[in-house]
Amino acid sequence: MGPGNSKYAYAVSGAHVYEKSFFRRSDMDKLLAAPSYEAVVAMLQERGWTMPDDTRDSGKILDLEISRAWNWVTASAPDPDLFRSLVLRNDFHNLKAGIKCLLSDFEVDQEFTKPSVIDRSLMKEAIETHSFDKLPEPFSSLGAEVYDLLVRTGDGQMADILIDRKCLDEITKAANASGVDLLKNEMEIYTATCNIKTAFRAIKTGKDRAFLERALSDGNTTISRDQLLACADEEKKMESLLSYLSTTSYSSGTKYLSSSPAEYEKWVDDQMLALLLPTRHSPLGPEPVIGFYLGKEAEIKNIRIILAAKQNNLPLDVVSGRLRRLYE
């Protein structure tokens, strides 16, 4: 259990009440069976979801719901900073997307993701005015570096590498600083599987060790960065990589790397969700609040898939196979 367990009694109680409105697997089946996109939207409204003026904009529907959950966490938890590693990746995404949009003459915030630690308006202002010093570190120095790189070289891939690696490094740092084992373990799965995916793609596309040294983050305990780097030195690079991964706790998911990247992402999400279940009914501590938020994320990922399926008339059997495990 994490620090200050007893002070979470109110937040945990509230989380358990909030979770009663979560969709279960049987509810997902009903959403899948709904005759139209509009019917799904109506079912979401019945469950208490807030709707934007334009209900055809599924992105806004999902943004409103995940923001509502995050706002509840920050308002209910006695130390909301403890949970920042759960959404930090959105801040790094916003920095990356905002700079690229600025240099492409698009609205800076049109690709911003919610929720985030840094206020959306502050991020937008800093990027639009090139005043990255208005942002906290590491976003201040990273933003200036990436902006300068893109203006000078237009190297979008290198910009992605710089931001994505710093993102994973900061997530690891924030999770470790929380002192909560569940949070550290959840973020370990997330960052380790990102590193695995990066190594696989790099080797598949013929990138060398120097590329991987720039791209792979530090700090994982369940995989070895050195081992991933060493695979790039081998004559049979991919064979060496897959052989090493078969010895790790991620072996059952790595088979999807070659056959189906989407299945790999689903496997990662399901692993993270399964880790939450043992502490779901705990009466104290931050763990049930972590579970609440990640459980809501899992629900929203499934709703995203269903809404897209209804908008594009995808076969139900295909869609059903893409749905993630739920927090139940």
CATH number corresponding to 180-285: 1.20.1690
pLDDT of residue 318: 84
List of the chain residues with pLDDT < 50: 1-3
pLDDT of residue 158: 95
Task: Report the CATH architecture of 83-178.
Answer: Up-down Bundle (1.20)
pLDDT in tens, 68-116: 999 999 999 999 999 999 999 999 999 999 999 999 999 999 999 999 9
pLDDT in tens, 275-316: 999 999 888 899 999 999 999 999 999 999 999 999 998 888
* Non-local CB neighbours of 76 within 8 Å, separated by 6+ positions: 10, 11, 14, 15, 289
pLDDT of residue 3: 46
Altogether, the residues listed in the chain come to a count of 328
Closest to 25 in 3D by CA, of 270, 233, 193, 227 = 270
pLDDT of residue 2: 44
What would you report as the CA-atom Rg of the chain, rounded to the nearest whole angstrom?
20
Other Cβ atoms within 10 Å of 55 Cβ, number:
15
Parts of the chain belonging to CATH 1.20.1690.10: 83-178
